[in-house]
């Protein structure tokens, strides 16, 4: 079905992979595996976009290609932003309804009905795509890929961002596909290698590809484990610029939320929510996709329009009583999926980290040398110091995530909001990030509010938890 011989793949005008040889037969279930930045996404992108091939021989007999990828998610997000004319019409644009996006993929009513039921999408059908959580949007993208009834299904980290129920649904749905459907996964974690895998294409640190044949996912994971030993890395955090007085509310808290409610038309995200965050009282926020975890973080940081309709005190300010957004953000570090998508910028890697001192997307003024020295120390901690001058947009999704985490941490903020920080990271970098968070918890410079769907990513040193349903 697919054959690549001595292929060169180019992204952003530069070679991403060279001398690629790959053969995949019809019905294969193949996995592309490797650490962040070695070219997994580039290889997957090439399989659905021959325009990325600049040399060698490439053939693909698939007539219909279904795609679940970061690029597809980004394409939908950009399309939604292009349709947003709220600045001109003075009307809030909630996004294209999910049902319209699904019908756009295929007019097959029976298949559409089946996927809606199987993925439990009925409550989302008339919701704007922009209002979906990361897990909900992932299920919509999976449904769109399957609606075209593909011969070839390309899946980039298809389980990332999904809660346990969503992961179970997606795995079961893909597992029921006809054996004639060729599946190619690009995954960052060993645990996400599917059970029916028969080929593994391993990309090493030099972006060279090794092929391993196997009988099942267990054998594939065993082979990967034997060649990807993860060494623990000692974490020493770069020091803060200065020790600051904690900006406290009258009750000694950093955040005090009373009886909060968020509602969109007839859909209530949550109500009667109370939360007090005192210095050092780190919190883990749990709940299924769509329960309001990201919404809660956005209420705190002021990025949600209903922040000012609720009784919320942060850093000594009652929301809506004259504070500026910059007075709030200077005490915050923030990592989220939405923030990641906002960073479609051409600035250098080191400037992205330095921008964390100014709470901006991009860098719009000259920063002192000390800021750059501290940012470089964070890059050294990541092992990315050689990439300091590279454009942020050229880095892999996982590397970008690491850089944005450092951007959030660089000023040792009084409050650090981490919304699925390990999303898209390989196993080694996931362990590094978890070690960073544990170190921050122990040092006490930042109070942490942490969201994750993955039990493996939970922070055991965080004792406080809030369950949303």
| 83-113 residue pLDDT tens | 765 544 445 556 789 999 999 999 899 999 9
In this structure, the number of other CB atoms found within 10 A of the CB of residue 245 comes to 6
For residues 448-462, average pLDDT: 89
Range list of β-strands (E), 278-370:
283-286, 311-314, 317-318, 332-335
Which pLDDT band, with edges at 50, 70 and 90, does 202 fall under?
A: very high
**Beta-sheet pairing, 267-277 with 255-264:** antiparallel
Which of the two residues, 239 and 364, has the higher pLDDT score?
Answer: 239
Range list of β-strands (E), 61-139:
65-68
What is the percent of the chain where pLDDT is above 70? 96
Task: Among 3.40.50.10480, 3.30.930.10, 3.40.50.300, 3.20.20.70, name the CATH number for the domain at 2-64+150-227.
Answer: 3.40.50.300
Q: What is the pLDDT of residues 373-432, one digit of tens each?
A: 999 999 999 889 999 999 998 899 899 999 999 999 999 999 999 999 999 899 989 999
Whole-angstrom distance, CA of residue 273 vs CA of residue 252: 19
Is the distance from CB of 282 to CB of 462 less than 8 angstroms? yes
Q: Which two tokens stand for residue 427?
A: 């196993």
| 3-state class (DSSP) for residue 146 | helix
- CATH placement of domain 255-467: 3.40.50.300
pLDDT at 232 over 70: no
Helices 70-83 & 134-147 angle (0-180, nearest 10) = 100
Looking at the chain, the domain(s) classified CATH 3.40.50.300 span 2-64+150-227, 255-467
Q: Which two tokens stand for residue 334?
A: 């923030």
Is the distance from CB of 232 to CB of 431 less than 8 angstroms? yes
Whole-angstrom distance, CA of residue 387 vs CA of residue 460: 32
Burial 161-186 (b: 16+ CB within 10 A, else e): bbbeebbebbbebbeebeeebbbbbb
């Amino acid at each position: 079905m697919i054959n690549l011989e001595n292929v060169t793949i180019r992204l952003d005008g530069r070679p991403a992979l060279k001398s690629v040889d790959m053969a995949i037969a019809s019905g294969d279930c193949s996995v592309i595996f490797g650490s962040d930045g070695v070219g997994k996404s580039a290889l997957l992108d090439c399989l659905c976009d021959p325009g990325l091939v600049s040399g060698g021989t490439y053939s693909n007999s698939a007539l219909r290609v279904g795609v679940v990828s970061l690029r597809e998610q980004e394409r939908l997000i950009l399309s939604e932003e292009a349709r947003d004319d709220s600045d001109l019409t003075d009307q809030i644009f909630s996004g294209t309804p999910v049902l319209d996006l699904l019908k756009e993929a295929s007019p097959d009513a029976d298949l559409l009905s089946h996927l809606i039921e199987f993925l439990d999408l009925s409550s989302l059908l008339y919701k704007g795509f922009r209002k979906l959580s990361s897990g909900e949007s992932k299920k919509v993208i999976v449904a769109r890929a399957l609606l075209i009834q593909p011969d070839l299904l390309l899946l980039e980290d298809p389980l990332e961002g999904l809660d346990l129920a969503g992961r179970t649904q997606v795995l079961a749905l893909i597992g029921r596909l006809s054996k004639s459907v060729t599946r190619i996964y690009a995954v960052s974690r060993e645990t996400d290698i599917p059970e029916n895998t028969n080929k593994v294409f391993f990309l090493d640190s030099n972006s060279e590809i090794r092929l391993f044949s196997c009988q099942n996912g267990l054998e594939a994971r065993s082979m990967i484990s034997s060649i990807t030993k993860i060494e623990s890395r000692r974490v020493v955090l770069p020091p803060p610029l200065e020790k600051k007085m904690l900006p406290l509310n009258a009750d000694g808290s950093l955040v005090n939320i009373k009886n909060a409610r968020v509602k969109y038309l007839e859909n209530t995200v949550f109500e009667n929510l109370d939360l007090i965050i005192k210095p050092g009282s780190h919190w883990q926020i749990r709940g299924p996709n769509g329960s309001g975890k990201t919404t809660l973080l956005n209420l705190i940081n002021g990025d949600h329009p209903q922040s000012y309709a609720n009784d919320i005190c942060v850093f000594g300010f009652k929301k809506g009583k004259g504070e500026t957004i910059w007075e709030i953000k200077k005490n915050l570090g923030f990592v989220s999926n939405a923030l990641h998508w906002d960073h479609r910028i051409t600035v250098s890697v080191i400037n992205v980290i330095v921008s964390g001192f100014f709470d901006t997307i991009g860098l719009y003024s000259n920063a002192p040398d000390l800021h750059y020295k501290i940012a470089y120390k964070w890059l050294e901690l990541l092992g990315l110091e050689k990439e300091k001058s590279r454009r942020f947009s050229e880095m892999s999704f996982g590397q970008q995530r690491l850089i944005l985490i450092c951007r959030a941490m660089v000023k040792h903020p009084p409050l650090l909001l981490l919304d699925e920080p390990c999303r898209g990271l390989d196993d080694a970098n996931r362990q590094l990030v978890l070690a960073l968070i544990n170190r921050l918890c122990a040092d006490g410079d930042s109070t942490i509010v942490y969201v994750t769907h993955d039990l493996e990513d939970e922070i055991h040193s965080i004792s406080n938890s809030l369950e949303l349903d």
